[in-house]
């Protein structure tokens, strides 16, 4: 069961943390400027939440997102705010988007860049976390237009059959989790 709400929790003027490839902070800049053109490297995170049936919580990004609107992605992804530790940001954002609070385990960090046509680019140094949750979700429709729970095998099938419906960072992260961090996944 899920509850729906519509709370604006982010905007394009929000200051993101600029970093170098070694994750050293080198400044801050608003979200719009970070995503313009080829994008500027900034700190980000992605969260993978599984339920008691070993299914992954997938979210469809809201239709008014600038980059990859209406694309399916991992459970939660965002940016820490200027001056905010990633460990604080992951919990803040899980609560804001999904209405959940749970323990999360750090898996790895990686740098990637992905262009969304002429609209903009994600260029992120992204920390990836994994956790489990059993309870009622409180979905924020300002961020998430739909959710689904998929088994690990179903995620693999979906990515093979419908790869163009998924965000580029999710595809990269899922492949790495499956290859190098299976011990963090259910039945790993």
Distance CA 68, CA 48 (A): 18
Indicate which CATH number applies to the domain containing 9.
3.90.79.10
Model pLDDT for residues 150-176, shown as the tens digit of each residue: 999 999 999 999 999 999 999 999 999
Query: In this structure, what are the phi and psi dihedrals at residue 61, rounded to the nearest 5 degrees?
Result: -65, 145
Model pLDDT for residues 115-132, shown as the tens digit of each residue: 999 999 999 999 999 999
For residue 29, give the 3-state DSSP assignment: strand
C-alpha to C-alpha distances, 84 to 75, 79, 106, 173, nearest whole angstrom: 21, 9, 17, 23
The count of residues in the chain is: 188
Instruction: Report, as an integer, the average pLDDT of 66-77.
Output: 97
C-alpha to C-alpha distances, 161 to 74, 123, 128, 157, nearest whole angstrom: 17, 26, 24, 6
- The pTM of the full predicted model, rounded to 2 decimals, is 0.94
Domains of the chain: total: 1
Give the chain's mean pLDDT: 94
> What pLDDT, on the 0 to 100 scale, is given for residue 11?
67
Above 80 in pLDDT, residue 8?
A: no
Residue tagged active-site, from 34, 76, 77, 126 = 77
> What pLDDT, on the 0 to 100 scale, is given for residue 1?
55
> What pLDDT, on the 0 to 100 scale, is given for residue 6?
67
Question: Residue 109's domain spans which residues?
Answer: 2-184
Give yes or no: 77 in active site.
yes
Above 90 in pLDDT, residue 5?
A: no
Instruction: Report, as an integer, the average pLDDT of 137-146.
Output: 94
C-beta separation of 67 from 61 below 8 A: no
Give yes or no: 101 in active site.
no
Residue tagged active-site, from 34, 94, 122, 124 = 124
C-alpha to C-alpha distances, 180 to 94, 173, 184, nearest whole angstrom: 24, 10, 9
């Amino acid at each position: 069961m899920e509850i729906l709400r519509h709370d604006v929790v982010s905007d394009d003027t929000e200051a993101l943390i600029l970093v170098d490839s070694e994750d050293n902070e080198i400044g801050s800049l608003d979200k719009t400027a970070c995503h313009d053109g080829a994008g500027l490297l900034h700190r980000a995170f992605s969260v993978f939440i599984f339920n008691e049936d070993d299914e992954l919580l997938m979210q469809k990004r809201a239709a008014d997102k600038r980059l990859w609107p209406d694309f399916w992605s991992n459970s939660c992804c965002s940016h820490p705010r200027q001056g905010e530790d990633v460990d604080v940001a992951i919990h803040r954002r899980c609560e804001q988007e999904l209405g959940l609070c749970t323990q999360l385990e750090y898996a790895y960090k990686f740098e990637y860049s992905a262009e969304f046509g002429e609209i903009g680019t994600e260029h992120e140094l992204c920390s990836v976390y994994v956790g489990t949750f059993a309870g009622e979700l409180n979905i924020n429709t300002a961020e998430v237009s739909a959710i689904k729970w998929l088994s690990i095998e179903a995620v693999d099938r979906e990515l093979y059959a419908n790869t163009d419906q998924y965000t580029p960072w999710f595809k990269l992260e899922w492949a790495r989790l499956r290859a190098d961090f299976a011990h963090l996944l259910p039945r790993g």
